[in-house]
């Protein structure tokens, strides 16, 4: 009996440690990415906006690791500088969507009645509509530009968060401790900020971590379609779009930002996965 | 003598789409006098929790009036209701769930004090005093609900209910989820509180265990399918039950 027991305990401990190790590794990678984008000016080997037509379309070499584009700008420097726009606008987008969706969801769940029905039907409409098409329409109406791309993506992404926050709030409203808080004479705001939000924010944050990758792709997608960041601003999506006509002759100009998107999306997705595993005690054993 | 709590014609009808209306509480009325301990017994599903949830206004009543210290609280809301909660407090059926898992017991007990404008330092002292009064040590204030046993948690819940010095304490099966020895301890605590507070504290004691009610209450109401079928002194009700349901309830125990 004891002989059977011991290994199980050990395995569980090891598995839990793996989740923690993963958390440390991906957290560190994400941190490096963030630091990169904060200090990007100091990390570039060349001036990312300096044109050097003699050196245009140079393939990857020891001097220019990712090659140069058609104006002779160093691709590595441009990718590094692009990280600021790409990563920060993604984080801003995720932040706005999470805050807005949570606010709407908590309000609906708390208030109930007709206003809840109305807002939830609206969110149903958004969920039923193909998101990126709608985002393109919004960005098209508002005109290009990074700011409008973010507005467009916020418009299509908030319903998911509103749904989660609403159902969580409804569940919290039924708990005895909320009734106890009510009997303690706490007002609406205190109950929402002190008791409901701390108890529902976990699953919402996990969702937003998992969404960072998707949002980055969608933002890059809109930029690629010319509805996001405009050249010469270095942004990964628009950089790819810029060079797509030269894909066959100078593939590195498209591939370099593509690779950067791929790596960052990957890191943020894995981090999101790990945080979900870490936050959920039931899946910690896996 | 004016009753602390007076309930008239209280009714709750649950209506849900696609289902026939269900009358969980059917025109009940009773009075609770200062210093009295009134028992409310009935089988599971007889509507006990529904009654107290209506009295504490966690649930809106379909019909009837609730008078707390002479004031009609049936339709109060907001500020008025918060004022009523200074007179009336409740101990919940499940102790562990009645504390926010993300707040310490001290936070939970002090919440009503803070809401009534007490300073942080004073609250801390008062919480320590309340915990001691309820048989715990001040050290429990910094613990989280999952770090204490069910009995300790229920003591903390009683401390929380007493924080505002209410005139009416409602215990909704406060002992049901605890084992027999802890039940007796909690009951002893409630008895101490009664002796200590005298006519300042009236208790509405909900229970489905007639033996506990006999031991603790001065008067008892028997609730069956949302109706009061019998009331009187516990010994009388137990020895000479008038209603067939009460008879069955007592036979099932003896
Ligand atoms: N929200 C609701 N909607 C519909 N029916 C309800 C609702 N809440 C309670 N009921 C019904 O009302 C009846 C009384 O429930 P209540 O919770 O008051 O019983 P109780 O006496 O407290 O039982 P227990 O001893 O198990 O706590 C039950 O039949 C229950 O199914
Ligand atoms: Mg009940």
State if residue B104 touches ligand 1 by the CB under 6 angstroms criterion.
no
Ligand 1 centre to CA of A90 (Å) is 48
State if residue B24 touches ligand 1 by the CB under 6 angstroms criterion.
yes
Report pLDDT for A13: 60
Exposed / middle / buried, residue A236 (Cβ in 10 Å: 0-12, 13-18, 19+): buried
Residue position matching structure tokens 């990007």: A40
Distance from CA of A128 to the nearest CA of B (A): 26
Structure tokens at A283: 């899946």
Report pLDDT for A20: 83
pLDDT category of residue B244 using cuts at 50, 70 and 90: confident
Decide: helix, strand or coil at residue A257: helix
Give the ligand whose atoms come closest to the C-alpha of residue B42. 1
Q: Tell me: domain A15-48+66-279, CATH 2.60.40.420, correct?
A: no
Report pLDDT for A106: 93
**CA separation (Å) from A105 to A43, A118, A156, B169, B238?**
42, 12, 15, 35, 52
Tell me the mean pLDDT in the region A134-141. Answer: 79
Distance CA A121, CA A166 (A): 13
Judged by CB atoms closer than 8 Å, whether chains meet at B102 and A199 is answered as yes
Nearest to B127 by CA among B138, B116, B115, B142: B138
Ligand 1 centre to CA of A50 (Å) is 75
Report pLDDT for A99: 93
Judged by CB atoms closer than 8 Å, whether chains meet at B85 and A185 is answered as yes
Model pTM score:
0.78
- Say which range, A61-70, A148-157, A274-283, B233-242, has the weakest mean pLDDT: A274-283
The interface predicted TM-score (ipTM) is: 0.86
Report pLDDT for A178: 92
Domain residue spans of chain B? 1-87+203-254
Q: Which of B88, B92, B116 sits opposite A180 (nearest CB)?
A: B92
Tell me the mean pLDDT in the region A177-188. Answer: 89
CA nearest A185 in B: which residue?
Answer: B82
pLDDT digit string (tens) for A159-171? Answer: 989 999 999 999 9
DSSP string, B18-32: TS--EEEEEEEEEEE
pLDDT digit string (tens) for A125-135? Answer: 888 877 778 77
Fold of B1-87+203-254: Rossmann fold (3.40.50)
Q: What angle is formed at CA A122 by the lines to CA A190 and CA A223, rounded to 5 degrees?
A: 100
Report pLDDT for A2: 47
B188 lies within 8 A of chain A by CB: no
pLDDT digit string (tens) for B194-232? Answer: 888 888 889 999 988 788 888 888 888 888 888 888 888
Q: What angle is formed at CA A170 by the lines to CA A168 and CA A172, rounded to 5 degrees?
A: 70
State if residue B225 touches ligand 1 by the CB under 6 angstroms criterion.
no
**CA separation (Å) from A58 to A50, A75, A79, A238?**
15, 10, 16, 20
Report pLDDT for A282: 53
Q: Which of A183, A195, A199 sits opposite B56 (nearest CB)?
A: A183
- Say which range, A53-57, A250-254, B121-125, has the weakest mean pLDDT: A53-57
Contact A275, A209 (CB under 8 A): yes
Residue position matching structure tokens 């309340």: B130
Helices (H), B198-243: 210-216, 234-239
B56 lies within 8 A of chain A by CB: yes
State if residue B48 touches ligand 1 by the CB under 6 angstroms criterion.
yes
Decide: helix, strand or coil at residue A134: helix
Judged by CB atoms closer than 8 Å, whether chains meet at A185 and B89 is answered as no
- Say which range, A40-54, A199-213, B144-158, has the weakest mean pLDDT: A40-54
């Amino acid at each position: 009996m004891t002989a059977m027991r011991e290994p199980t305990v050990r395995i569980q401990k090891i598995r839990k440690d793996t989740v923690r190790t993963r958390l440390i590794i991906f957290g560190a990678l994400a941190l490096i990415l963030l630091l990169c984008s904060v200090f990007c000016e100091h990390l570039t080997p060349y001036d990312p906006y300096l044109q050097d037509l003699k050196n245009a379309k140079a393939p990857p070499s020891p001097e220019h690791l990712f090659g140069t584009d058609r104006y002779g700008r160093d691709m590595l420097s441009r990718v590094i500088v692009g990280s600021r726009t790409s990563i920060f606008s993604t984080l801003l987008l995720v932040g706005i969507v999470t805050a807005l969706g949570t606010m709407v969801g908590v309000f609906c769940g708390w208030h109930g009645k007709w206003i809840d029905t109305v807002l939830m039907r609206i969110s149903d409409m958004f969920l039923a509509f193909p998101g990126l098409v709608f985002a393109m329409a919004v960005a098209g109406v508002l005109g290009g530009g990074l700011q409008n791309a973010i507005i467009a993506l916020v418009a299509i992404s908030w319903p998911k968060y509103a749904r989660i926050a609403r159902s969580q709030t409804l569940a919290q409203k039924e708990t005895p401790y909320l009734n106890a808080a009510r009997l303690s004479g706490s007002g609406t705001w205190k109950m929402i900020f002190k008791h409901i939000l701390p108890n529902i924010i976990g699953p919402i944050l996990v969702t937003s971590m998992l969404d960072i990758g998707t949002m980055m792709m969608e933002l890059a997608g809109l930029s690629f379609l010319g509805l996001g960041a405009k050249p010469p601003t270095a942004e990964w999506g628009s950089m790819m779009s810029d060079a797509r006509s030269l894909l066959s002759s100078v593939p590195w100009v498209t591939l370099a930002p593509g690779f950067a998107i791929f790596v960052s999306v990957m890191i943020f997705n894995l981090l999101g996965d790990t945080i979900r595993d870490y936050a959920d005690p039931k899946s910690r054993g896996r | 003598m004016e009753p602390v709590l007076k309930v008239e014609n209280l009714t709750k009808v649950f209506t849900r789409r696609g289902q026939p209306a269900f009358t969980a509480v059917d025109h009940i009325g009773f009075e609770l006098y200062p210093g009295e301990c009134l028992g409310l017994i009935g089988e599971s599903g007889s509507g006990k929790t529904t009654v107290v949830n209506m009295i504490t206004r966690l649930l809106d009543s379909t019909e009837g009036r609730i008078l707390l210290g002479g004031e009609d609280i049936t339709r109060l809301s907001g500020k008025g209701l918060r004022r009523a909660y200074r007179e009336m407090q409740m101990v919940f059926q499940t102790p562990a769930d009645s504390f926010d898992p993300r707040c310490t017991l001290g936070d939970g007990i002090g919440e009503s004090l803070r809401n009534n404008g007490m300073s942080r330092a004073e609250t801390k002292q008062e919480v320590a005093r309340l915990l001691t009064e309820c048989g715990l040590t001040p050290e429990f204030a910094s613990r989280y609900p999952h770090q204490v046993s069910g009995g300790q948690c229920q003591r903390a819940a009683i401390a929380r209910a007493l924080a505002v010095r209410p005139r009416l304490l409602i215990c909704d099966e406060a002992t049901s989820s605890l084992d027999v020895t802890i039940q007796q301890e909690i009951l002893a605590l409630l008895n101490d509180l009664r002796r200590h507070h005298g006519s300042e504290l009236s208790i509405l004691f909900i229970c489905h265990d007639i033996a506990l009610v006999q031991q603790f209450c001065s008067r008892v109401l028997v609730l069956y399918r949302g109706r009061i079928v019998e009331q009187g002194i516990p010994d009388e009700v137990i020895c000479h039950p008038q209603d067939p349901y009460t008879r069955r309830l007592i036979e099932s125990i003896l």
